[in-house]
Structure 1
């Protein structure tokens, strides 16, 4: 835990986000490489975030591209890089659902591993989308636009203004959407020419095959996506590398999952709540389906039918009693506590990559 004075020597930086002059050292242990899973292919914002997290380590970490957010969650990598929220489009539902799914994982080894994963760091990546088409395609020829749902949502104003009749197609990643233009399906060809929203980095990878029609399609210039870094909490410190670069260490925020809105204030009455996301409760929803509950049964309270889980982020720099209380009240179930962002990749470090 972190004490109020901010003098914990295990921290990477001080309470104001300024790095300590003393660098953290890697623990003695295996020198083999580690893996970090992210949303690929090359050119995605997920890859940029993974590279930023990796830059804080002096050990060998192999970046593993995954085709979807759920695929990141399912892989048994050392680290997992997941997009959590965006300044325009809000929380990333697929990430939240993956985090919540760990509460009712099966008895397999992978399910148990997923339940032990913990958030350890975060960063805010600046996001700027470009609209790309195959070489030779004109602006007026576009009939559909493909990208990740977050990119489509962030560029909704642009799309309504420039292509109000275009069909929107979701894709697991922004870079993948751009690559898909190079190998259009039969259905794509029947609908006419299409475009994709992706990063400029992805567009440059295929600049001999793709043209950029517009830059900065996102709704506002102050567009950031927050990524979180997860690690397996069951792995000993001697087996998991520690960051060695001077990353910022803001006042740490802890992450919890609560099953009821009315419990939020009592549980965190001494802490500052930074963020709340809500998603359907996968535990009770699946149980209800298995039990064959009738949708016409009488219900009085919202939670009886619309069971919800709340993903809560709180500032725990001053008060630690809330952490102890929630663990005790929940019978010590560690699945309700899902980590603490104790260090952060700075804007300067991201810009330097």
Structure 2
């Protein structure tokens, strides 16, 4: 994460990144939001819902994900009894683990980077699934068993940059995406979700993704998360959002930015 002087800081969990941004400890935070194989990153989704209108999404970008299986010097694949990593990484390497370490226990870590100290602190021979960058961070303490163990060679993750709400957003480019969420007080009304989504379809606005997550403030209620193509300052998008406010009980707009498909980092 970016500190006040432009330094890069690392936090062990996604939740702590959001806390650091809201407290002003850092100016911006970068968190994963969607993986090409494992889908939405739930801690990010739930943190966005919990923060509501206090945070804004200012940028999105896609990065290739290259997982490395690392261990202590002197250990081999046959020695490993437990593997540490983030749940998303464990899922993205499921085929490799099943084929090469079928009887090995897996333990969830707060992040792929945090998996390395978890592994180093293990009382039994262990390995960690981590990004290739840890080989420099922990030089001399770890060695790679195998590089590129992800099941999908085209494994990619979309990240978003978040900041405190400032009212200043990237300008309209014509290739934008708007992140928002909405909920209902009474979900038992017929066709309520259809009416909400028609606010966009009736204006020919494409929805890139539609997700739902449990509403942490309501029993058996949901929060719906949309990625709508267009900028919140576009007149057509403004009309759609105005219509949505008549249908939904709560609407939160997290921001608009250039779509990552037009600025992918290789």
Bin for the TM-score computed over the shorter chain: 0.7 to 0.9
CA deviation profile, 1:93-128 (whole Å, cap 9, x unmatched): 00001011124xxxxxxxxxxx32111110001100
Q: 1:221 aligns with which of 153, 166, 169?
A: 153
Native 8 Å contact 2:196 2:248 kept in 1 = no
| Number of the residue aligned with 1:49 | none
| Number of the residue aligned with 1:292 | none
* Aligned: 1:316 with 2:234: no
Q: 2:87 aligns with which of 149, 155, 159?
A: 149
Native 8 Å contact 2:67 2:129 kept in 1 = yes
**1:260-279 pair list within 5 angstroms:** 261-269=193-201, 270=203, 271-279=205-213
In the alignment, structure 1 segments of 5+ residues that lack a partner are: 1-34, 38-58, 104-114, 244-248, 286-305
| Number of the residue aligned with 2:13 | 68
CA RMSD of aligned residues (A): 2.6
Following superposition, the deviation at residue 330 of structure 1 comes to: 5.0
* TM-score normalised by structure 1 residue count: 0.64
Q: Distance in 2 between matches of 1:155 and 1:145?
A: 11
Q: Distance in 1 between matches of 2:28 and 2:152?
A: 31
Q: 2:61 aligns with which of 123, 128, 139?
A: 123
Tell me, what secondary structure is at the counterpart of 2:37? coil
Aligned residues: 246
| Number of the residue aligned with 1:102 | 51
* Aligned: 1:342 with 2:258: yes
Following superposition, the deviation at residue 329 of structure 1 comes to: 4.9
Native 8 Å contact 1:81 1:227 kept in 2 = yes
Q: Structure 1 residues 89, 236: CA separation in 2 closer, same or farther (over 3 Å shift)?
A: closer
Native 8 Å contact 1:120 1:343 kept in 2 = no
Following superposition, the deviation at residue 196 of structure 1 comes to: 0.2
| Number of the residue aligned with 1:298 | none
Greater share of strand: 2
Q: Structure 1 residues 73, 217: CA separation in 2 closer, same or farther (over 3 Å shift)?
A: same
Following superposition, the deviation at residue 162 of structure 1 comes to: 0.8
Native 8 Å contact 1:129 1:200 kept in 2 = yes
Q: Distance in 1 between matches of 2:46 and 2:82?
A: 28
* Aligned: 1:307 with 2:252: no
* Aligned: 1:325 with 2:243: yes
Q: Distance in 2 between matches of 1:324 and 1:126?
A: 37
**1:1-353 pair list within 5 angstroms:** 36=2, 61-75=6-20, 76=23, 77-103=26-52, 115-184=53-122, 189=123, 192-233=124-165, 235=166, 251-259=175-183, 261-269=193-201, 270=203, 271-285=205-219, 306-316=220-230, 319-320=236-237, 321-327=239-245, 329=247, 336-342=252-258, 344=260, 346-347=263-264, 350=265
Q: Distance in 2 between matches of 1:123 and 1:81?
A: 10
Q: Which structure has the larger Rg?
A: 1
CA deviation profile, 1:201-255 (whole Å, cap 9, x unmatched): 112322312111111111111111100111222x365xx9x89xxxxx5611111
